[in-house]
Amino acid sequence: MRKCTHLDQIRDVIPSADGCEECLICGHVGCCDSSPNRHATKHFHATAHPIIRSFEPDEDWRWCYVDEVLL
């Protein structure tokens, strides 16, 4: 089973806006890959911030782009 090696980078952040994905490193909010513009993935490529979490109501998941694992 794959494990995330970036959990030590998670911070207590304030979301930057209303949206569907939140970067757990800086608080940036962007749309997930099921959305046309894939802002969360673009944020990862621009910043190398590896972990996001869902910002949608009733969703509680996190994803590490580097280790490609659901947390």
What number of residues does the chain have?
A: 71
Q: What is the pLDDT of residues 37-55, one digit of tens each?
A: 899 999 999 999 999 999 8
The shares of helix, strand and coil residues in the chain, as percent rounded to the nearest 5, are 15, 20, 65
Write down all domains in the chain, each with its CATH number in brackets.
7-70 (3.30.40.10)
Could you tell me what percent of the chain has a pLDDT over 70? Answer: 100
**Which residues, other chains included, contact 59 with Cβ-Cβ below 8 Å and sequence gap of 6+?**
none
User: What Rg, from alpha-carbon coordinates, does the chain have?
Assistant: 11
What is the pLDDT at residue 17?
Answer: 84
- pTM exceeding 0.75: yes
